[in-house]
Amino acid sequence: MPLRLPGRYAGLLAAAALAATTVPALAWGPEGHRLVGELAAAQLTPAAQQAVAALLIGEPEPTLAGIANWADETRTPDSGPLHYVNFPRGSCRYQAPRDCPDGRCVVAAIEASAALVGNLQAPPSQRRDALKNLVHFVGDLHQPLHAGRAEDRGGNTVQLQWQGAGSNLHQLWDSLLIEAIDTDRRHLAARLLAQKPNSLNRDRDSRRWAEESCAIVAEPDFYPATRTPDETAYRQRWQATMEARLQRAGQRLAGLLNALLDR
């Protein structure tokens, strides 16, 4: 993955870092993002662990899980596009000029954040905020609907009923499916970590991650056939995919941080 920091990306990240107005989260729910942070932290090398700890000195909760939701907590309308990428229906091949104009998408935000985290000459405060963004954006991109369709705002306008309450497809994948699978985040994290690791932690191509998420959204039965889906059937159909995306997000984030900080 390229680790350059183009000027326009740096400006976007600076705006995100300085934002103080909160808006509703539109990513993995808070527990999902914390889970990704926990999975990544458990797979860091000792040197990367030390570097992360040094960058997070003074944080209220100086862990990857503790900073995982910062980018949502400080999100503004201007920084919002950095949390997702839209693909046109029928195409999951990432094309930056079409899908990420002016670098305003999560793919470019990951590249820019990674470059700043790995820049040892940058001020520690900027590297710290870039680390906060990076943890969150990697989690975002592994939620399939963050590489979804612009026409339905990544599933936000697809209304449905779940557990007797009104919801939408995006919220279902943000948090409701995770809760249906396991209400104990730490139990789920332990189970995912116990599974045999693979070479995905060497995969640092955020463009390909986006294409993976888009391909999931494009599967025929991803969108429920009715507004009142069979909850058990939908959960059983997509549980393995949900768990794989969380697991890969943690592995890939760890691999990226190990490459950037263990030198």
pLDDT computed for residue 128 by the predictor = 98
232 is a domain residue: yes
pLDDT in tens, 167-178: 999 999 999 999
**Structural domains counted in the chain:** 1
168 is a domain residue: yes
pLDDT computed for residue 200 by the predictor = 57
1 is a domain residue: no
2 is a domain residue: no
Q: What is the pTM of this model?
A: 0.88
125 is a domain residue: yes
Nearest Cα neighbor of 186 from 66, 39, 28, 43 is: 39
pLDDT computed for residue 255 by the predictor = 95
CB atoms within 10 A of CB 47: 12
Counting as low any pLDDT under 70, the low residues of the chain are: 1-27, 196-201
pLDDT in tens, 53-94: 999 999 999 999 999 999 999 999 999 999 999 999 999 999
Phi and psi at 114, nearest 5°, equal: -60, -45
Q: Which domain holds residue 98?
A: 7-261
The CATH number assigned to the domain holding 159 equals 1.10.575.10
